[in-house]
Amino acid sequence: MVKPSPLQLKELLREESTRLGFAAFGVVAVEAPLRQKYYEQWLAEGQHGDMTWLERNNDRRLAPQKLLSSEAGEPLARSLVVVGLNYFQPEPARRYRIAKYALGRDYHNVMIKRLRRLAALVRENGSEARAYVDTGPILEKPLSAMAGLGWQGKNTLLIHPKLGTWLLLGVVVTTLELPPDKAGNDHCGSCTACMDACPTKAITAPYQLDARRCLAYLLIEHHGPIPEEFRVAVGNRLFGCDDCLDVCPWNRWAQATRETVLAAREYPELREMLAWTEDEYRTHTQGTPLARLKLPRLKRNAAIVLGNIGAAEDLPALTLAATDADAVVAEHAEWAIKQVRSRLAREPANQV
């Protein structure tokens, strides 16, 4: 059997990625520029907040050739195959919002199996390969832009020219030197829609994001109390924030995902979530991104949302949550009770 050339293998990988359901495909050499100076300054200034894992393994994160190495430590990686899975779908009608990527099953579990099939195809042709979905020291967004999937917008997220902002990214690192694709061109121009839409002004300048102000970070990654200055800005967001994605003009061509596993799950009212036991929490969230929160953070977020949109019928649930053994949950419930009562006081007909 004749071994395929690097170009032929690249096309085989492209065809397989399409068969697996990926909507975008590209290849980038490991020497691609990665905005290293900005990234290192971003870390030095603490703009990554509690995401301390971003401080580790930067010898590999900033030098992808080291993601595969020999027993002696010699860097062996030569190319990175980058794919994107379309996850766009309309939001279900309910009082609170969950970021679109988290509406259904956890995409990590969905994508890693498919990426491993791509890695297996590389190995079948005599090269080493390893698959990653947010699981290794990889700067997926700049690599995706260099692989031709689009460009990093002013909100720092990848924008695909046909699918907009709605791509989940995965990477296969290989020792094979595949022909690279042309990097994507920046088409943001003078548009500042994402910057203008950010509820907390976390996009501090074009192409710069302070995670400590970002609602997606605060509601998901941050473990402690949500700073009071940001609580009203949370609005009705229970998990994540899509505001800077939703407003991007390049979403005019966005297409609904065909991935039924990502379809929105049904969740109960926030009042019920506040009363969940650990078993109930696991039953409702197992296999979904919401499982990452753990129950206290979910209750914390639910209390903030009810503080912003809650009504008189939500006060009993909040009053019970104010006695929660978790001090953060209790404090946020107390804050929410004050917010709801203050709102009711401005509506005399609805006073409690």
Q: Catalytic positions, please?
A: 134
Q: What is the dihedral of CA 333, 337, 342, 345, to 10 degrees?
A: 170
CA distance 333 to 133: 35
| Dist. CA 32–CA 54, nearest whole Å | 19
* Spatial CA neighbour of 58 closest among 133, 139, 131, 121: 139
Helical packing angle, 295-309 and 278-285, nearest 10° = 80
**DSSP-based three-state secondary structure for 14:** helix
Terminal-residue alpha carbon distance, the chain: 80
Q: Where are the alpha helices (DSSP H) in the chain?
A: 6-19, 36-44, 58-61, 107-124, 140-146, 193-197, 215-216, 228-234, 243-246, 270-274, 278-285, 295-309, 315-321, 327-345
3-state class percentages of the chain: helix first, strand second, coil last, to nearest 5:
45, 10, 40
**CA 53 to CA 88: how far, in whole Å?**
28
Contacts of 171 (CB under 8 A, 6+ apart): 80, 81, 82, 83, 115, 131, 132, 133, 136, 138, 140, 143
Question: Beta strand 24-29 with 237-239: parallel, antiparallel or unpaired?
Answer: unpaired
Helix 107-124 vs helix 6-19: crossing angle, to nearest 10: 150
305 in Cβ contact with 238 (< 8 Å): yes
- Return all residues near 225 (Cβ < 8 A) that are at least 6 apart: 300, 328, 331, 332
Tokens of 332: 């946020």
